């Protein structure tokens, strides 16, 4: 007999959350609780990246306080089981700064989790907290990407964390992924696709192929995290600057480009766009917010390379990064990077088939951002709410 289990998947890069411990954290939790109250999930999967932020050595204590505040809050009291995995072992070479949090509502009775050591599913009981080294935790896989995945750039704490579940006899893989970012805007706009895009492609392809190998039964999967997908900057800049004069400024000591300036040919030669390594200042920034940035979706090309194995719900929200971290400017983007849909929730074709869709036109599947009009740091959390088709009996 087919049953439905209400599921909420959330992905959030929380790096900036721990640089400003007070107001922004309480607002972030408030928006999460509001989302939970609106959609009333029975199973919550919260995938976090950059736990502890850039100053993780001093901020990990704040991160742990944040997890305990969430788990013990009045709003979460009806979730009587939980599994929390946080990699905070920054002293080794395997540090990913990933955190996976799973919450199970008291009404959800039939749920199990995979133990990779005994190679079988086991019941989920009580509160399970694993904060520290996850090397010996048998219900999670946590791996940093090898250095050869990003050979031309600094090796960084990027990787994936995977758990496996059975909900009412329906198996699922849930994978938290943090892919490589664009280190320089100047390099990103050099070619189409950029070298950064190629590195992300190979890393994500590796994660997907690992999921399909012969070591375990292949299950439907949801893959969600900061995938760092960027707009095709080369093509975007060409289209934005068709009526502009281009000036390239090079460093005195070398032939290396320091900045590119695009000036309007009329309108008193007003600067239309200025690009530096960590500057992307576009005069008409509103284009990224108008109609949820729909006009720019044609430049969002990175996911298309995976259409053979991956699906995604239609994006109807503005780019999720890089938002201003100023409390008074919650909808404004910083001029550090070209705004992009970095935070994504993807799924296998088999997982998409498990999403229940109502015939009466009622909004049964919601793919959106949390807190669109409040400051939650430089990334807006992205969530997917849906009913999962499950079975009471095999």
| Phi and psi at residue 56, to the nearest 5° | -60, -25
Q: Which residue has the higher pLDDT, 199 or 154?
A: 199
Q: What angle do CA 25, 104, 223 make, to 5 degrees?
A: 75
| pLDDT at position 21 | 54
Give Cβ neighbours of residue 214 (< 8 Å, ≥ 6 apart). Answer: none
Least confident of 98-102, 205-209, 389-393: 389-393
DSSP letter for each residue of 222-252: EEEEE------HHHHHHHHTTTEEEEEEE-T
Give pLDDT, residue 154.
Answer: 66
How many domains in the chain?
Answer: 1
Structure tokens, 302: 């990175």
8 A C-beta contact, residue 173 and residue 162: yes
Beta strands in the chain (DSSP E): 2-13, 43-49, 81-87, 99-104, 111-115, 120-123, 127-132, 141-144, 159-167, 170-178, 221-226, 244-250, 257-264, 271-276, 279-282, 310-311, 343-348, 355-356, 366-369, 382-391
Asked if residue 69 is part of any domain, the answer here is yes
Q: Which of 48-52, 103-107, 222-226, 355-359 has the lowest mean pLDDT?
A: 355-359
Better pLDDT: 269 or 200: 200
Q: Does 93 or 127 have the greater pLDDT score?
A: 127
**Cα angle for residues 126, 130, 135 (degrees, 5° grid):** 135
Residues 6+ apart with CB under 8 A from 313: 345, 365, 367, 384
User: What local confidence, expressed as pLDDT, does residue 210 receive?
Assistant: 81
Chain segment 293-330, per-residue pLDDT in tens:
999 999 999 999 999 999 999 999 999 999 999 889 99
Q: Pick the closest to residue 285 from 269, 301, 296 (CA basis).
A: 296
Mean pLDDT of 254-260: 88
The pLDDT of 179-191, averaged and rounded, is 94
Q: Is 238 among the domain residues?
A: no
pLDDT mean across residues, the chain: 90
CATH code of residue 154? 3.60.10.10
Dist. CA 132–CA 141, nearest whole Å:
14
Q: Is residue 102 part of a domain?
A: yes
More confident residue, 155 or 353: 353
Instruction: Check residue 251 and give its pLDDT.
Output: 84
Contacts of 287 (CB under 8 A, 6+ apart): 293, 295, 296
Residue 338 lies in a domain: yes
Checking if the pLDDT of 132 tops 90, the result is no
* Within-domain flag for 53: yes
Query: Given pLDDT bands bounded at 50, 70 and 90, which one contains residue 268?
Result: confident
In a domain, 313, yes or no: yes
pLDDT at 148: 72
What pLDDT, in 10s, does the model give residues 12-53?
999 888 776 567 888 999 999 999 999 999 999 999 999 977
Q: Which domain holds residue 343?
A: 2-231+284-391
Does the pLDDT value for residue 127 go beyond 70?
A: yes
| pLDDT for 361 | 58
Q: Could you read off the pLDDT of 65-102 as tens digits, one per residue?
A: 889 999 999 999 999 999 999 988 777 678 899 999 99
Residue 241 domain-assigned (yes or no) = no
Report yes or no on 64 lying in a domain: yes
- Tell which wins on pLDDT, 17 or 348: 348
């Amino acid at each position: 007999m087919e049953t439905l289990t209400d599921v909420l998947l959330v992905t959030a890069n929380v790096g900036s959350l721990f640089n400003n411990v007070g107001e922004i954290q309480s607002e972030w939790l408030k928006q999460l609780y509001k989302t939970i109250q609106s959609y009333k999930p029975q199973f919550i999967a919260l995938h976090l990246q950059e736990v502890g932020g850039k100053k993780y050595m001093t901020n990990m204590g704040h991160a742990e306080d944040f997890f305990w505040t969430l788990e013990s809050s009045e709003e979460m009291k009806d979730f009587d089981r939980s599994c929390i995995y946080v990699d905070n072992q920054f002293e080794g070479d395997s540090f990913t700064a990933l955190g996976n949090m799973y919450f199970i509502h008291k009404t959800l009775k039939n749920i199990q989790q995979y133990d990779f050591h005994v190679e079988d599913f086991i019941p989920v009981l009580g509160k399970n907290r694993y904060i520290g080294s996850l090397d010996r935790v048998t219900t999670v896989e946590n791996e940093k990407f090898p250095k050869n995945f990003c050979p031309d750039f600094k090796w960084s704490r990027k990787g994936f964390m995977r758990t496996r579940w059975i909900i009412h006899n329906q198996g699922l893989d849930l994978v938290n992924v943090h892919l490589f970012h664009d280190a320089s805007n100047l390099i990103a706009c050099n070619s189409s696709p950029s070298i950064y895009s190629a590195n992300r492609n190979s890393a994500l392809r590796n994660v997907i192929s690992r999921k399909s190998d012969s070591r375990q039964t292949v299950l439907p999967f949801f893959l969600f995290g900061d995938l760092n997908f960027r707009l095709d900057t080369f093509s975007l800049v060409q289209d934005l600057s068709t009526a502009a004069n281009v000036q390239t400024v090079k460093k005195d000591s070398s032939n290396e480009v320091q900045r590119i300036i695009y000036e309007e040919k009329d309108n008193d030669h007003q600067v239309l766009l200025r690009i530096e390594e960590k500057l992307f200042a576009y005069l008409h920034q509103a284009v990224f917010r108008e109609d949820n940035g729909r006009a720019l979706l044609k430049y969002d090309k990175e996911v298309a390379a995976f259409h053979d194995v991956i699906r995604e719900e239609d994006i109807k929200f503005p780019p999720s990064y890089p938002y201003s971290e100023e409390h008074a400017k919650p909808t404004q983007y910083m001029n550090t990077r070209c705004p992009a849909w970095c935070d994504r929730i993807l799924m296998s074709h088999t997982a998409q088939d498990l999403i229940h869709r109502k015939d009466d036109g009622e909004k049964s599947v919601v793919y959106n951002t949390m807190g669109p009009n409040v400051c939650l740091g430089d990334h807006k959390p992205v969530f997917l709410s849906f009913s999962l088709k499950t079975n009471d009996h095999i």
